[in-house]
Structure 1
Amino acid sequence: MSPEEIQQIFFAECEESLAAAESGLAACKAGTHDTDTVNAVFRAVHSIKGGAGAFGYAALQGYTHTFETLLSDVREGLVPIENKLVDLLLRALDTLSDHVEAAREGGDAPGDASLIAEMEASMAANAGAPIPAAAEDAQPEVADIAEGEEDFGLDLDALLDDLTADFSKPNEAPAAGEKRWKVHLRPHAGAMRNGSEPILMLREIAALGGECAHCEVSQIPQLDGFDPAQGYLGWTFSMPEKVEETAVREIFDFIGEDCALAFGEDQDIPPLKIAQSPPRPVAKPASAATAGEPSPAADSAVLSTPVERPQAPEAKADDKAAPAPAAAAASTPAPPAAGQSIRIDLFKLDRLIDLVGELVIAQAMLVQRLGMAGISATEELALLESLTRDIQESAMSIRAQPIGSVFSRVPRILRDLASSTGKHVKLEVSGESTELDKTVVERLGEPLTHLIRNAVDHGIESAEDRIAAGKDPEGTLTLSAEHRSGRIVISIGDDGGGINRERVLAKAIEKGIVSPDVQLSAEEIDNLIFAPGFSTAQTVSNISGRGVGMDVVRQNVKELGGRITIESAPGKGTNFILTLPLTLAISDGMIVNVGDQTLVVPLANVVESLRPGQDDVQGLGVSRDMLNVRGRFIPIIALRNALGWKSGAQAPEEGVLIVVDTESAGQAALLVDDICDQRQFVIKSLATNFRPVDGVAGATILGDGRVALILDVDGLVACALPGMERQAA
């Protein structure tokens, strides 16, 4: 694998870590700041820091170090979790996201000096006082050693006490009869060079309930042979029985082979492995060696014990031969296979989906050819159809992603809007685990962002207006997603003032979008906001006012094969509803004939099919027929008339009625000549290969090689019913 590919993996992992940190901080903002939540945020930031050090992103690593240090103090209870601190952490995470993006694009790092100062001030105000004192106490010791005393020996017992002080709990004796197990570890040289900090990992073990049972210091060489980049120390921790081995392994996931691990009572601390270090002065005095460190005070804030001051035990590193690398590897068992995953190039995945689509077409062709030839192979064809469907569903599930990856961006958008508009909005999310096709997820970001910005800027009133209306001064934005009838339904709602229809109509007349004497329903007035160039904003800002956006939103949704509808109540709020296909590739449909044309009706819209009796059809006005379905009347739409064709059934008794369900117009009955078959079809974009056609969602290739149009049932019914009403009027 090339360095560029490894780098791309790192940035993909950064996105996952940022999402995990965002989720954790959102939970903290909501009041859930337990140990597990804070640890999850810390691990996410720590992972980014480790990768930044490995790839040489100095600005990213330096910023993340301060962020991580603050989170470490929060974990240890040195900095209390308050709303002000959570807001600071959220702003720090936003800047971290900007740092990652700058590293990915090769641009300049964002300005973070003021934010770093805020984080350091927060640490100093809460937990910084005793730490600088400890650092000052350490300086005379280092200076004494640098003056060239002949006796470099130290009190190893005192040193051992220092090294284990952070991880021992003498006042908390294990409960009687409590079973414990042991984990042994030794960080190697690479653990210090790639941006990781083993001391923080040891603190994570302690946070799980681990207690330091032994610290191995016998491998520390004399001072003249001491290399601060090497890992001379090893630890044995006693862990509670309730802690699983996988939980400990997760702490060291990123550091990999740079830290050797062993588990069990019969194991020991893995042996020392000396690595070749970059050229450096070996016998440099300690005071000079520490003078070049970036920030001793910052280091002391993270390393509250003097772990970098071990000198001169009794033996040199040469007294023991370094074991072969295989020995260290042998001491680390292979991780469990459960839950493993791999990263796949998106092009390969798209190619797989395309091939599955061709398989579906080939299977349909085979069925049709065998039927035409009079060959009976019912069982074999049923098996082939079942296998094809299983392959298709498995391939589509690989592409499926939770919509939560889109929803996770919303808190940052709301924070940015709060600073620019002064409106504070509470977010309520449901259905974030709902899965849909990766392509749909990726293309949802822009329309959702604009709808949210529009809801905050236009929908939700100012705090003063809300208080005057008897509302909470803080607005509420609701995001939800759910599966419904084989489609995904996404709702973006606010509790604002709703759409001011009088103002919208007046603005539309002013801009010439509609004529002054037009008579429009409430729904038609609401839909005027989707007209190109329409805007009710009084002033142009960086949020809205230029008349572009909502028409682009509708166009983007249409390109995804979906539709957008509006529900608005004056004084109560507005709800935008997006209805989208679960996938853009393969679906199930009913093959029908209308005149000399073959069409596909998506099965997700079909409720039932029937041949009406004489008493089932009633007239309404002069041009509309209504179907009586168990006491409920629904309109009949002849596809021949709706599509403008000259042939095909025109009277209900001449054909078959297919009852369909739509989001905007309820149920309707489509009149077709006859129903041919029901099977899977591969969706081909009509807009890409030809041009958009109203009432048509796309096209597919049938088993005999012919091209059939796929109906956009919702759009077709919505267009046909107003036309029938105008004819009746």
Structure 2
Amino acid sequence: MSPDDIQSIFFQECEEGLASAETALLAIKAGEHDGETINTIFRAVHSIKGGAGAFGFHPLQSFTHLFETLLDKVRDGELSLDPPLVELLMGAFDVLADHVTAIRGEGEQPDDAVMKRALRDALSAAPASAPGLASQELGLSFDIDAMMAELTVRSDIPAQDWRVTFMPAAGDLAHGGEPLLLLRELAALGGQVVSADPDRVPTLDAFDPDAAYMGWTLRLPATAERATIEEVFDFVSDPGSVTIERTQFDDAMRSAREVILQSRPVAPLATPAAEPPVAQAPLAAKQPKVAVGATIRVDLDKLDRLVDLVGELVITQSMLSQRLASNGLAAVEELADLDQLTRELQDSAMAIRAQPVKSVFSRVPRIVRELEASTGKRVQIEVEGEATELDKTVIERIGEPLTHLVRNCVDHGIELPAQRLAKGKPAEGLLRLSAEHKGSRIVISVSDDGAGIDRERVLAIATDRGIVAADARLSDEEIEQLIFAPGFSTAREVSNISGRGVGMDVVRQNVQALGGRITIQSRPGEGSSFALALPLTLAIVDGMVVSVGDQTYIIPLTHIVESLRPDRDQVQSTGLGNRVLNVRGAFLPVLGIGDQLGLTGAVSEPSEAVLIVVETESAGSAILMVDAIIDQRQVVIKSLETHYQQVEGVAGATILGDGRVALILDVEGLVDLRAPVPLRCAS
């Protein structure tokens, strides 16, 4: 493995550590923490510090060392988790995230001088530790006598245990390594210190407090995995300083230890009675270990290749089915088995790529903290459905739209505390994020309890800027959609948050590029809600194969409610060529796909066609008129934009079983085409 590969793994571990640390910090802020919460943050920061030292990222190493020291004081109960300290930890985490972004080459090195000073000030408030490396500071006594006193001679220990010898390099401490923390991790695996080697400790006049001199030999139970032991030393600068081997701890060694033990009073190491009272009882509580499923990192390109191969398998299976059917060969049972296996394989491949939206939602708290600092507003965040999963590609591409929506809600929606109090609202605004499955789509909502959209002002600005005609008559929904027009902004002045009229336009473009739709619900004085309806995957979809004229199309099943053939007198005309059908008390517009896409030869009489009732997020229910229904099957989506260009009303293309290319209809877009918003280009 090359150094670049190792560094890439370190970057991935940084992202995982930051995610777990932020989740723990938010739990602390919400008052829902326990003893393991602060340990989670400490472990994440410690791991990042170790890697930073190994790769020479000195600014990151220096900051994490200070951050880790403060966390250790909190963990040992020397500092109380009061609100000011929690806010300091949140701020330190933000600086840490900026450092990680900088070492990845995706941002500038942060100026952490102010935050370092704040961390040192907080540390100065902690009780002074006893001289030397006491158990209060590191959670592990450095007293060799006490270490040896803790060891008890047992006759039931398996003969072949692990012997681990660790002799840190002289410069390990200066590079962020702390040997005693590694010993504590080995102790968690059941390790016991057999002996300590002080031979390298110099006289006091030659002693360097930043150098490492001690060495240790430990015994770990035979049941421990070698890979788990090696993982403890992942970031040790000199691999040669660690020896891990199977060995038999014979009677001679036992006798030697017995002599040592008999010459000293036996007392357990760091017994609870010897520890000072802990201020934060929940943090001191021992928590049961939670079993974690085994995981493996896989390059995303390999997953993409797997999904592509599954897609080709779906196409081949469809071709095989059609070929056998056309030749009159009966293999119904075998084809059914093949179809089921293909679908299960496809579901498994999609599940591998699936990720919870939590990875996107986790970015929001920091964005809100920054907005609070720059606007003076106070915002409470509520999250629901963060475990909802969707395709990794979709996850990666909704980050920017979600950021813009959050900024828009806080900057334009939620009022200042004084204004909210004057309106009888709490001083703290509410920002709510939610995600839920609806069919084969996921709906992500971002809502606030702010002032809502001022439709009169939106229409006036749009008219002044030439986005709509001065005499245009728009519905409330159409006026709300104007905020997505290029160049539109209601900000009274340009700031680093808003005012240039590009944010919401980017939101709509990115969502539409994913085959999704965005809708708005707003009530003046009560707040606004933005709903993003997105596909779960961009690869495979179940669809109904239909014919229109001489063309074949695919309608995604997720939109289809039912199909029917009406009598001639059931379809009514409303003038200007518009027709409606009464479906169980609701009059739905009848839209001919041939008319919508400009095709010739399509059936024009509804009573002679097949009417398909569809449901959309933005325009409710409607009816699509097709010539005939041919089949229902699973199809692989191929992007038109990649190979050609975006086509209005078309979501993509696929290859049918007979080798022909069929277009996959964008049902939302087709329904929207019937009533376009009267926009015109700005001059």
Is TM-score (shorter-chain normalized) higher than 0.5? yes
Residue 178 of structure 2 aligns with which residue? 197
Residue among 387, 395, 399 paired with 2:353:
399
Per-residue CA distance 1:2-52 (angstroms, 9 max, x = gap): 110111011011011011111111111111232111111111111111111
| Residue of structure 2 in register with 1:53 after alignment | 53
**Distance change (3 Å), C-alpha of 1:224 and 1:478:** closer
**Tell me, what secondary structure is at the counterpart of 1:626?**
strand
Aligned pairs for 1:233-382 within 5 A:
233-234=216-217, 252=232, 254=234, 339-382=293-336
User: 2:76 and 2:374 mapped to 1: Cα distance?
Assistant: 35
Query: How does 1:61-210 map onto structure 2 within 5 Å?
Result: 61-105=61-105, 109-127=109-127, 130-131=128-129, 134=131, 159-161=143-145, 188-190=166-168, 193=172, 195-201=176-182
C-alpha contact (below 8 Å) 1:262/1:270 kept by paired residues: no
Q: Which moved more, 1:639-648 or 1:468-477?
A: 639-648
Q: Distance in 2 between matches of 1:481 and 1:3?
A: 39
Amino acid at match of 1:366: L
Instruction: Check conservation: 2:148, 2:193, Cα contact below 8 A.
Output: yes
For the Cα contact (< 8 Å) 2:168–2:179, is it kept in 1?
no
Q: Residue 688 of structure 1 aligns to a residue in which SS?
A: helix
In the alignment, structure 1 residue 640 sits paired with structure 2 residue 616: no
SS in 1 for 2:647: coil
* TM-superposition CA deviations, 1:614-643 (whole Å, max 9, x none): 565445456443333344433222212222
Matches within 5 A, 1:612-651: 612-613=566-567, 616-620=570-574, 623-651=577-605
CA–CA distance in structure 2, aligned partners of residues 218 and 411 of structure 1: 46
Aligned-partner Cα distance in 2 for 1:463–1:268? 74
* Structure 1 match to 2:199: 221
Structure of greater relative contact order (alpha carbons < 8 Å, 6+ residues apart): 2
Q: Deviations over 1:402-426 (max 9, x none)?
A: 1111111111111111111111211
| Residues in 2 aligned to 1:107 and 1:191: alpha-carbon distance in whole angstroms | 33
Deviating more after overlay: 613-622 vs 570-579? 613-622
Native 8 Å contact 2:163 2:219 kept in 1: yes
SS of aligned partner of 1:433: coil
Which whole-Å CA distance do the structure 2 matches of 1:567 and 1:105 have between them? 40
Alpha-carbon distance, 1:563 to partner: 1.0
Residue 530 of structure 1 aligns with which residue? 484
Matches within 5 A, 1:511-590: 511-590=465-544
**3-state DSSP of counterpart to 2:534:** strand
Residues 481-515 of structure 1: CA distance to partner in whole angstroms, max 9, x if unpaired? Answer: 11102101110101110000010011011111112
Query: What is the alpha-carbon distance in structure 2 between the residues aligned to residue 159 and residue 612 of structure 1?
Result: 90
SS at match of 1:590: strand
Question: 1-side partners of 2:355 and 2:668: how far apart?
Answer: 25
- The answer as to whether partners of 1:498 and 1:570 remain within 8 angstroms in 2 is yes
Q: Cα gap change, 1:106/1:646 in structure 2, threshold over 3 Å: closer, same or farther? A: closer
Shift of 1:339: 3.0
Cα deviation 1:579-610 (Å, max 9, x = unaligned): 11111111111100011110100011111222
SS in 2 for 1:233: strand
TM-score with structure 1 length normalisation?
0.77
Partner residue, 2:44: 44
Structure 2 distance, partners of 1:608, 1:525, is 32
5 Å matches for 1:443-454?
443-454=397-408
Which runs of 5 or more residues in structure 2 are unaligned?
A: 135-140, 152-156, 255-274, 276-290, 679-683
1:475–1:263 distance in 2 versus 1, CA, 3 Å: farther
Give the number of aligned pairs: 619
Pair 158,99 (structure 1): closer, same or farther in 2 beyond 3 Å: closer
Find the counterpart in structure 2 of residue 176 from structure 1.
none
Deviation at 1:688, TM superposition (A): 2.5
The C-alpha deviation readout for 1:649-697, integer Å capped at 9, x for no partner, is 2222101111111111222221111111111111122223222222111
Counterpart for residue 384 of structure 1: 338
Evaluate the alpha carbon distance shift between residue 405 and residue 164 of structure 1 in structure 2; reply closer, same or farther with a 3 A threshold.
Answer: farther
* CA displacement 1:65-88 (0-9 Å, x = unmatched): 111111111100011101111111
CA 1:499–1:373: 2 relative to 1, 3 Å: same
Pair 198,613 (structure 1): closer, same or farther in 2 beyond 3 Å? farther
SS of equivalent to 2:488: coil
Equivalent in the alignment of 1:285: none
Deviation at 1:570, TM superposition (A): 0.4
Aligned partner of residue 105 in structure 1, secondary structure: coil
Tell me the SS of whatever aligns to 2:125. helix
Alignment RMSD (CA, Å): 3.8
Structure 2 residue identity aligned to 1:479: L
How far did residue 236 of structure 1 move? 7.5
Distance 1:559 1:223, change over 3 A: closer
Q: Which amino acid aligns with 1:82?
A: D
Distance 1:354 1:577 in 2: 30
Q: Who is 1:20 aligned against?
A: 20
Shifted more, 610-619 versus 681-690: the winner is 610-619
Aligned partners of 1:618 and 1:270: how far apart in 2?
A: 98
Q: Does 2:215 correspond to 1:232? A: yes
Query: Is residue 665–residue 717 contact of structure 1 (8 Å, CA) maintained in 2?
Result: yes
SS at match of 1:480: strand
Q: Could you tell me how far apart the structure 2 residues matched to 1:489 and 1:359 are?
A: 30
Cα pair distance change 1:108/1:677, threshold 3 Å: closer
Looking at structure 2, the residues matched to 263 and 41 of structure 1 have their Cα atoms a distance apart, in angstroms, of 33
CA–CA distance in 1 between the matches of 2:169 and 2:326? Answer: 69
1:107–1:523 CA distance, 2 compared to 1 (3 A)? closer
Aligned match for 1:701, one of 638, 650, 655: 655
> Which of 425, 430, 435 is the matching residue for 1:481?
435
Q: Does 1:408 align with 2:354?
A: no
Tell me by how many angstroms 1:134 deviates: 2.2
With structure 2 as the length reference, what TM-score do the two structures score? 0.82
The reply to whether residue 455 of structure 1 matches residue 406 of structure 2 is no
Q: 2:674 aligns with which of 713, 717, 720?
A: 720
**1:215–1:12 Cα change, 3 Å:** closer
Q: 1:106 to 1:395 in 2, by over 3 A?
A: closer
Identity %: 56
| C-alpha displacement of 1:565 | 0.9
Residues 191 and 259 in structure 1, CA contact (< 8 A), matched pair in contact too: no
